Structure 1
Amino acid sequence: MGKTIPEKLTIKWLQEHYRNNNITPKDVIEEIIDRATKDADMNIWITPPSMEWIQPYLEKLDSLSIESSPLWGIPFAIKDNIDLAGIPTTAGCPEYAYTPDEDAAVIRRLIEAGAIPVGKANLDQFATGLVGTRSPYGETQNSLRPELISGGSSSGSSVSVARGQAVFGLGTDTAGSGRVPALLNNLVGYKPSLGAWSTKGLVPACASLDCITVFAHSLEEAMLVDASARGVEEADPWSKEIPQPVASLPEKIILPKDPLDFYGPFATEYSDAWDRAVEQVKQVGLPIEYVDTTFLAEAAAILYDGPMVAERWAAVGSFVEENPGATFPVTEDVLRSGSASKYDAASVFKANHQLQAYKLKAKQLLRDAVLVMPTAGGTWSRDQVRENPIATNSDMGRYTNHCNLLDLSAVAVPADEAAEKVPFGVTFFSLAENEGFICGTAEAFTQVVAEPTTLVAVCGLHMRGLPLETQMKDCRATFIREAVTAPKYQLIKLPTEPAKPGLIKQANGGGAIQLEIWEMPLSTFGTFAASIPDPLGIGKVELEDGSEVPGFICQAYVAEGAEDITALGGWRNLLVFN
């Protein structure tokens, strides 16, 4: 069956094939079990998929109509701080584990809609972290590049969806845990307004801020899940009557006025991806307003640098005290910070008063608008997080931590890759009462047809920091990466003023020459190419991996009498030696 079931599982594909009797839910579960077994080393699951305990849910489908059950036969993952009856809930801590007698309210609703729970997913212990490495059950690997973090705390839920082991995954989000893993695994992460989804049956992190969220491959499918999960739960004191959002557009889009901070090994690539995303936002066609967003960081500081962190200690502090050594070390450090004597009752009230002022500012700013920010400003390798667990984790929350404190709804959606297999994405924020705005704006953003572009290889004065880089910028070109030609080229120094390089492909011999690869809109490429003076021009340049891209080449006749600088390996090396 593996050959007939796609790697990426979607509601639309499964429903179509169920109705046509091409596959059965049992076929799909068998394939998921096989995939989970093959990916066992990725540490996705705490309770992995098993036919033994999934079988009753398959049998339950016999009593449900596919026509009236919107999620009939749709497999989903559950973050292991959300209760599934009869299956242990660990919250990422074996000593904390208990087996609930009943489903969490959201789980019950999804099962009633025909969805099939397939496993309890790994997480940063007690949902405290944004990196996916703080679990005694192992570090959940990124779905695309295993050396990078998967994001947390809802690590396993997101990776299970990205790896085709669930159609959607339930996460939780107190400070970004339902959005950061979506970004890092190229998914949509939908965080509804506080109280819209019941948190009854959720192990609390900060009960006043906790949300249950969904990971999916598209906003459309996330909203299908939302339709079944949303609604007041009478026995839940945090539950609210918030209708399902209807997609609509705001009057304007808010963007940060000041340059943003990017970090980690792909900081430059993330910055460039943000610039491209901003251009894509502009193509939505709504008015853009640039504002000072520093108050968001000031509000976010209340969560971990203020007394609000005490709410985490209130949730699990007694367990930590009574079970020495049971808590993951870095997690315990974070939790214990909430027990500091400086966080007395007066400090809590003072922080609440500050937060109320920030909420008013957010309400005034977003009354008729949607805010767009990078979902995160970078990522890290798992090795880097182990070396510096607190600072790296804090970086991941720079653009997420404010959200629930300010009672905002949010959706994280993919944008252009930052680098190969390094996703990038943006988050749309709105006031809770305007949740439809994020749906409409995110939908419009994802439907923007990207302007056609071409790669351009440059080997001289058009490279970064050199005199003609401005021509690349004027043509709206974006630096992509450094590269090297195939070892088939001669590089000469043209006797011009200023001196320029000429790249000539050789029938025999030659060397490998350092290049930069840029991406340029086709709408400006023609004018750019036409402006290049003889003997230079644009042709195909072969790279070291055998691929070819358009780039600067030189006519061979000028090689006679020109200085051969092939041995230097690139134009920048000439500048260094001179």
Structure 2
Amino acid sequence: MSKPDMDIPRELTIDWLQAQYGSGKLKPERVIEEIICRSHEDEGMNIWITPPRLERIQPYLDHLKTMDISLPLWGVPFAIKDNIDLAGTPTTAGCPEYAYVPDRHAAVVERLLNAGAIPVGKTNMDQFTTGLVGTRSPYGETHNALNDKWISGGSSSGSAVAVARGQVAFALGTDTAGSGRVPAALNRIIGYKPSLGAWPTKGVVPACASLDCVTVFTHSLQEARIIDVLVRGLEPLDPWSKEIPRMVDKLPEKVYLPEKALKFFGPLAEEYSKAWDAAVERIEKLKLPVEYIDYDFFEEAASLLYDGPWVAERWASVGEFIESTPGVTFPVTEQVLRSARTGKHDAASVFTAMHKLQELRMKSNKLLRGAVLVMPTCGGTWTREKVEADPVTTNSDMGRYTNHCNLLDLCAVAVPAGDAAAEMPFGITLFSLSGNEHLMDRAAASFLEAAVTSVEVKRQETMMVAVCGLHMRGYPLEKQMLEYGGQFVRESHTAEKYQMVKLPTIPAKPGLLKKKAGGSAFALELWEMPVASFGVFTSFIPAPLGIGKIELADGTEVSGFICEGYAEEGAEDISAYGGWRNIP
């Protein structure tokens, strides 16, 4: 398959695609061709259940020619979690034996198609949305977009990773316990969960129908808002749908933070704790009143999701299928679902839990009126190997700060908040009352803007840094350059003294080695970075890469990414391409 004529950045966004389409420089067919190439490259990451294939996408491309190019999502590729219906394409909910072929699109999908978006495939997920880790699927464990050994988060794992890996501009997920937020945090993207009922769930396989939400993953808060506006609104045939109008964004009256020290779990617990402290420090510097509160009643609400009778609602959705097809369900998924049949939850206990929840909702409604609550998105993270060894405890610890959300009828947005460790992102979630997306969005924007402002303040003393791989513009790690205050200056070339190899990492990275004799020149980018943040930035660079002096074509030397010599063994020599952007 040939590559598109122009460079398509690894980070696909609605804005960039619309600008290219409008200028005539790019056509949707070329974008789809590139997406299919990328899906083949990432095949081992188990992102897709129904992967991007031209024969399935072509009818949508053909239909696009009859549509107005001014439509808000004209030609924009998106992915669909495989518990959401796309007409004519199997819906599996992560279980092959459960699969059916719908004859109608889910309501949210229909609205996106009418706006000109192109569905490219159905994504992998924790089976029957029962999990927050991204490993509970017979289609394979979805790998983290940044670090192959670590979990991607679930249950909307494939959708989040598809966005983070540049295979779509946005992706639909679902959220009952945190599935539309946790994978966003672990893959350094935005996870947007609207108020219950604001987006219709008609055409979605239910988990807990009374709590389920459709969500979206994007690269920016602004693009999540675009999707929200397009799919929000009453669906007359959906019994859970509500008319919840979108209000004009404004700052909340107050930001709440938990007063007691939070506990984190897993091998990066200490790093998560430090990242949370840094996020709190940034929040405290916002021009908003901050108040510390007792978080206990939110924890009490969260415990009801799996310890209370709502697990029986999950059984009501798929229990008949599990009973009629013994042995086909993913083992840990069946274990969780069958816990509803222990006899613990009789009719009286259901009403007892509902009455308790109503009391807790009254408390949260009173507390959060005009305000937002900020919490870590995840309780920790783990390697895929650790989760395999202890799938239940790790999943429970992951959801400690997320599970209260839908039970209390809150809306939420998960946003990046720096990295806890090298290529291990950390995120926070902002919560507000139903219908108050305008408050959480503006607060989230202020938090993200504060990072940019901090960078500008620190930009006074800078140094030049050369990058030649994934930190260049349009690639996944450009975000690190920006986060640590980097500002692109210009393109350049090395002196003719180097060799470039392709390191066998996931994702693949280039290694630049200086030769004693001979060698070639390679394209790179020069960035200006604050001296104050350079040390922290370099601490995240994994071996065999490091920072050293790179000689440029004009004879000057700058700091930049170099590779240790031992890495040449077993690596592919790609010197003939003249730079990372030229690699097919």
Gaps of 5+ in 1: 456-519, 526-542, 550-578
Alpha carbons of structure 1 residues 258 and 25: separation in structure 2 relative to 1, 3 Å:
same
Residue 24 of structure 2 corresponds to residue 21 of structure 1: yes
* Deviation by residue 1:242-261 (Cα, 9 ceiling, x = unmatched): 11242111111000000001
Do the aligned partners of 1:280 and 1:450 also contact (CA within 8 Å) in 2?
A: no
Alpha carbons of structure 1 residues 235 and 423: separation in structure 2 relative to 1, 3 Å:
same
* Deviation by residue 1:485-522 (Cα, 9 ceiling, x = unmatched): xxxxxxxxxxxxxxxxxxxxxxxxxxxxxxxxxxx996
Residue 78 of structure 2 corresponds to residue 76 of structure 1: yes
Partner of 2:494: none
**Aligned runs of 1:396-411 on 2, under 5 Å?**
396-411=398-413
Partner of 2:333: 331
Do the aligned partners of 2:163 and 2:170 also contact (CA within 8 Å) in 1?
A: yes
Do the aligned partners of 1:246 and 1:439 also contact (CA within 8 Å) in 2?
A: no
Aligned residues: 466
Larger radius of gyration: 1
Do the aligned partners of 1:132 and 1:154 also contact (CA within 8 Å) in 2?
A: yes
Which of residues 301, 310, 313 is equivalent to 1:311? 313
* Deviation by residue 1:205-247 (Cα, 9 ceiling, x = unmatched): 0000000000000010011111111111000000000112421
Cα deviation for residue 545 of structure 1 reads 7.1
Do the aligned partners of 1:297 and 1:398 also contact (CA within 8 Å) in 2?
A: yes
SS in 2 for 1:346: helix
Do the aligned partners of 2:233 and 2:243 also contact (CA within 8 Å) in 1?
A: yes
Partner of 1:152: 154
Which of residues 40, 44, 67 is equivalent to 1:41? 44
Do the aligned partners of 2:265 and 2:381 also contact (CA within 8 Å) in 1?
A: yes
**Aligned runs of 1:198-347 on 2, under 5 Å?**
198-347=200-349
Matches of 1:58 and 1:285 in 2, distance apart?
Answer: 47
Matches of 1:16 and 1:363 in 2, distance apart?
Answer: 42
* Deviation by residue 1:288-320 (Cα, 9 ceiling, x = unmatched): 100001111111111101111100000000000
Do the aligned partners of 1:80 and 1:122 also contact (CA within 8 Å) in 2?
A: yes
Matches of 1:269 and 1:92 in 2, distance apart?
Answer: 32
Partner of 1:55: 58
**Aligned runs of 1:481-560 on 2, under 5 Å?**
547=547
TM-score normalised by structure 1 residue count: 0.79
Amino acid at match of 2:113: I
Alpha carbons of structure 1 residues 521 and 195: separation in structure 2 relative to 1, 3 Å:
farther
Which of residues 102, 109, 112 is equivalent to 2:111? 109
Matches of 1:336 and 1:443 in 2, distance apart?
Answer: 42
SS in 2 for 1:83: coil
Partner of 2:454: 450
Matches of 1:10 and 1:51 in 2, distance apart?
Answer: 21
Amino acid at match of 1:27: R
SS in 2 for 1:274: helix
Partner of 1:178: 180
Do the aligned partners of 2:245 and 2:435 also contact (CA within 8 Å) in 1?
A: no
Matches of 1:246 and 1:184 in 2, distance apart?
Answer: 30
Matches of 2:547 and 2:202 in 1, distance apart?
Answer: 55
Amino acid at match of 1:398: R
Matches of 2:274 and 2:531 in 1, distance apart?
Answer: 15
Alpha carbons of structure 1 residues 313 and 290: separation in structure 2 relative to 1, 3 Å:
same
Gaps of 5+ in 2: 462-529, 536-542, 550-584
Amino acid at match of 1:41: G
Amino acid at match of 2:99: A
Alpha carbons of structure 1 residues 544 and 97: separation in structure 2 relative to 1, 3 Å:
closer
SS in 2 for 1:450: helix
Matches of 1:92 and 1:148 in 2, distance apart?
Answer: 20
Matches of 1:38 and 1:373 in 2, distance apart?
Answer: 36
Cα deviation for residue 377 of structure 1 reads 2.4
Alpha carbons of structure 1 residues 546 and 107: separation in structure 2 relative to 1, 3 Å:
closer
Matches of 1:245 and 1:46 in 2, distance apart?
Answer: 37
Alpha carbons of structure 1 residues 544 and 322: separation in structure 2 relative to 1, 3 Å:
closer
Partner of 2:368: 366
Residue 376 of structure 2 corresponds to residue 381 of structure 1: no
Partner of 2:477: none
SS in 2 for 1:63: coil
* Deviation by residue 1:247-294 (Cα, 9 ceiling, x = unmatched): 111111000000001111111111111111111112221011000011
Matches of 2:458 and 2:332 in 1, distance apart?
Answer: 45
Cα deviation for residue 333 of structure 1 reads 0.3
Matches of 2:27 and 2:532 in 1, distance apart?
Answer: 46
Which of residues 105, 122, 125 is equivalent to 2:124? 122
Matches of 1:204 and 1:366 in 2, distance apart?
Answer: 28
Residue 151 of structure 2 corresponds to residue 143 of structure 1: no
Matches of 1:267 and 1:16 in 2, distance apart?
Answer: 42
Amino acid at match of 1:224: I
Do the aligned partners of 1:79 and 1:121 also contact (CA within 8 Å) in 2?
A: yes
**CA RMSD in angstroms, aligned pairs only:** 2.0
